[in-house]
Structure 1
Amino acid sequence: MMVPLALLVLGALAAAVAPRVLARSSWPEREPVLGLWVWQCVVAAVLLCCLLAMAFSAAAAWQVVRGHVFAPAPSGVEEAYGLGLGAYGPWAGALAVLLACGGAWTGAMLLREVHEARARRRRRRAELLERAPRLPGEEPCDGGPLVVLEGEKAEAWWLPGSTPQLVVTTAALRRLKGRQLDAVLEHEQGHARARHDLLMHCSSALAAGFPRVPVFAAFRDQVHTLVEMAADDAASKRYGRRTVALALVELNEDSGVFGPAPAPLAQVPRRVHRLLSAAPRLPVSRRLRMTAAAVLVPAVPLVVAFVPGLSALR
């Protein structure tokens, strides 16, 4: 019956330690895609710990659950876990119910995030259609990859959906020089290709559902930063870091972002400095090692969960 407790301790340890370790590391800025992968593996490990602990706790509390969990297992495996001891029943049931409620709450937060995202997308598409109405006989704006809006503020953004759209204002067209416009559009297309919106929805839902869990709050904050850096790198591969940095400056110069800026815009100077400093990427061998190590993080809860059963098969 120690397996659920070990899994919960492991999950709590990862949720508390991982954000501190990654926050002190400078390599995610050099490798934002790898940083996103590591964060996803850490969060997956925490969620997997809770899921497995719920399954084993429920198996300890109720015979019917235990029969389903260990139905495909060979003889002797169930006894190795010691789940049939009656003393564990009351608190095991309470733990299973608590974890099940947490899982249901997580699902509810994800559904709410999806619903709100769809509502925001419909609202923005309606505003887009109002600002750029179709002429008689013109194709719907959803069918085109780029929409140009009349506007005094230099802006460019990506509108996700079944048919992602790039939107740019006439002020941005006037301000962006040379290949800067191409770099901005490539940045937004990088978001679309990588489906960064899905990752941002998941991180926002977990942070909203469990605001006191450090790993989920840090996951949301880091995702919002790293996806922008990853898109910057995607544009830099084609148009160069200096071009992307100048485009960021041109788009945000009038927003006061390079002075005391609001939180959502505070990362722009950091991104510009990162592009201009041009820190070298990590060696390929180190990137491969870190990728493999990140894959092993969600495997640790599986090892903890299956060690008693594997030991019984010897």
Structure 2
Amino acid sequence: MTVSVALLLLGALTAVLAPRLLARAEWPEREPVVALWVWQCVVAAVLLCCALSMTLSAAAAWQAVRGRLFAPAPSGVVEAYALGAAGPWAAATALLLAGGGVWTAAMLTREIVRTRAARRASRAELRVRSPLLPGEEPGTDRLVVLEGERPDAWWLPGTAPRLVITTAALRRLKGRQLDAVLAHEQGHAQARHDWLLHASSALANGFPQVPVFAAFRDEMHRLVELAADDVASRRFGRLTTALALVELNEDRGVFGPCPTPQALVPQRVNRLLTPPRRLTPARRLRLTAAAALVPVVPVLVAFVPGLHALR
């Protein structure tokens, strides 16, 4: 059971230290795409620690699980894990972690159901506000223009994704500013940022007392916007993209002395106007590779006793 405890401690250590290290680092602002990857690897490592610890705890508590898990392994491998010497808390640990896994699956399922219902409602509203003209077929138009007094643009994902923009936005955005907004929304769609947002929200809502999941959700909402801004700015320029953001949001109270919850917009504008220097390709590669190794560590911890017994 030493390995199971080690995995739990490793998961807790990762959940505590990783968000603090990332919060202190200055490079995520410069490389949001790399930061998105690092956060995913950190959360995957935490979940993997819990899953592996649950499996080993269940093997220690019940002979039936142990027999199936270690069926093809030599007897020396089983002895290396010392599963027979586990105390009565092994079953409780396995059941607690299994309950957490079931709850995680339930939260993800609920998020999927809610998302699909919201998309159906949005598409129904689109059909009412922008009905098909004679000869048009549903799903053929990827761009939908809606009458509206408020400038806005958003991407509606799904099997037939659509970009929705209001007439107020068309009147306000000038020249390449409109192209920058469209490129921003297409950047969200191409990277499937909606998946990251929904997964992080499901974990944070399912486990509100776990800070790493709350930080994961908050950072996903921030980093996906920065990444999409970079997509637009590389194609149409940082000044054009910044001006487009200002035009779309200046009437929403985000630039005043008492900003609304959308206060991320001024930070995005400032970042576009004073762009941080990007990391070198070599450093980006090192960060990406190092992050990919984070979920590998719990796997190595779980397999080290068995591999050592086979030597």
The reply to whether TM is greater than 0.5 is yes
Unaligned runs of 5+ in 2: none
Residue from 91, 101, 104 that aligns with 2:102: 104
Aligned residue type for 1:129 = R
User: Which residue does the alignment assign to 2:8?
Assistant: 8
User: Which residue does the alignment assign to 2:280?
Assistant: 283
Aligned residues: 310
1:198 pairs with 2:169: no
User: Which residue does the alignment assign to 1:155?
Assistant: 152
Per the TM alignment, residue 17 of structure 1 is displaced from its structure 2 partner at its CA by 1.3
CA contact (8 A) 1:153 1:171 kept: yes
Residue from 268, 271, 274 that aligns with 1:274: 271
User: Which residue does the alignment assign to 2:122?
Assistant: 124
User: Which residue does the alignment assign to 1:22?
Assistant: 22
Deviations 1:8-36 (A, max 9, x none): 00101111111111111121111000000
Q: Supply the distance in 2 between the matched residues of 1:70 and 1:36 (Cα, whole angstroms).
A: 36
Deviations 1:99-152 (A, max 9, x none): 000000000000000000001101111111111112233222x32110001111
1:207 pairs with 2:199: no
User: Which residue does the alignment assign to 2:133?
Assistant: 135
Per the TM alignment, residue 72 of structure 1 is displaced from its structure 2 partner at its CA by 2.6
Unaligned runs of 5+ in 1: none
Aligned residue type for 1:3 = V
Q: Supply the distance in 2 between the matched residues of 1:262 and 1:19 (Cα, whole angstroms).
A: 25
1:301 pairs with 2:298: yes
Per the TM alignment, residue 73 of structure 1 is displaced from its structure 2 partner at its CA by 2.1
Per the TM alignment, residue 262 of structure 1 is displaced from its structure 2 partner at its CA by 2.2
1:312 pairs with 2:309: yes
Q: Report the TM-score, using the length of structure 1 for normalisation.
A: 0.97
Q: Supply the distance in 2 between the matched residues of 1:134 and 1:105 (Cα, whole angstroms).
A: 42
State the SS of the aligned residue for 1:135: coil
Q: Supply the distance in 2 between the matched residues of 1:6 and 1:48 (Cα, whole angstroms).
A: 13
State the SS of the aligned residue for 1:76: helix
Instruction: Give the share of equivalent positions with the same residue, in percent.
Output: 71
Q: Supply the distance in 1 between the matched residues of 2:45 and 2:67 (Cα, whole angstroms).
A: 26
Deviations 1:178-206 (A, max 9, x none): 10001100110111101111111110000
Q: Report the TM-score, using the length of structure 2 for normalisation.
A: 0.98
CA contact (8 A) 1:150 1:169 kept: yes
Deviations 1:198-234 (A, max 9, x none): 1111100000000111110000000000001111111
State the SS of the aligned residue for 1:73: coil
Q: Supply the distance in 2 between the matched residues of 1:183 and 1:75 (Cα, whole angstroms).
A: 63
Report the aligned-residue RMSD: 0.9
